[in-house]
Amino acid sequence: MSNELPFHSSEHICETFKLALTRNEALFLDDSFTLMIEKEMEDHRIQPMRLVQMTAGLAVPMELLEKVGKAVVFTINTQDELKEYTIELDISELLMIREVSSSYIKVGEEPVGFNLKRKVCELLYKEEIEQEENNRLVSHLLKDIDMDTNISSDGTKAETNVNQPES
């Protein structure tokens, strides 16, 4: 089995992402994760510390637990409930957060699942969506322009005709 991430955009592999977490988001993630450990067994499988169930949806590495733990401590020790703590994540950590962030999950009135899903997807896909939109716009603007470039036998540009539709 390959250790490669099932992600189409290879430029994201070494990139780091900054994710700001609210108190409820940090608490939700802390409740959703369990520590990933490797047991000394013949099959060398990675196992969670506790059974993965509704209270611990995903086994994650210690580094991610520490980042989320810092966000928990920071956000519960501030008087400002809107104060967020920003963590820096690699692509695999960001995808782990995406996996537990079901859009229907609420903590109190805060839609933490939806908010986390939105934040993660924006980090992953916002630039690509903007590029697609720019490409569509350029394509739309250029659709009626016919550019014909002729190259002479000596390799220099002989003539360029730009034919625009008549108004």
The domains of the chain are located at 11-134
Q: For position 1, what pLDDT does the model report?
A: 41
What pLDDT score was predicted for residue 40? 63
Give the SS3 label for residue 40.
coil
Q: What is the pLDDT of residue 58?
A: 84
Mapped onto helix, strand or coil, the DSSP state of residue 1 is coil
Q: CA–CA distance from 126 to each of 48, 118, 120, 130, 131 (Å)? A: 33, 10, 10, 6, 9
70/82 Cα distance (integer angstroms): 16
* Low-confidence residues in the chain, pLDDT < 70: 1-13, 38-56, 146-167
- Residue 71: predicted pLDDT: 96
Tokens of 137: 């716009």
Residue 31: is it exposed, middle or buried by C-beta count within 10 angstroms (0-12/13-18/19+)? middle
pLDDT at 6: 47
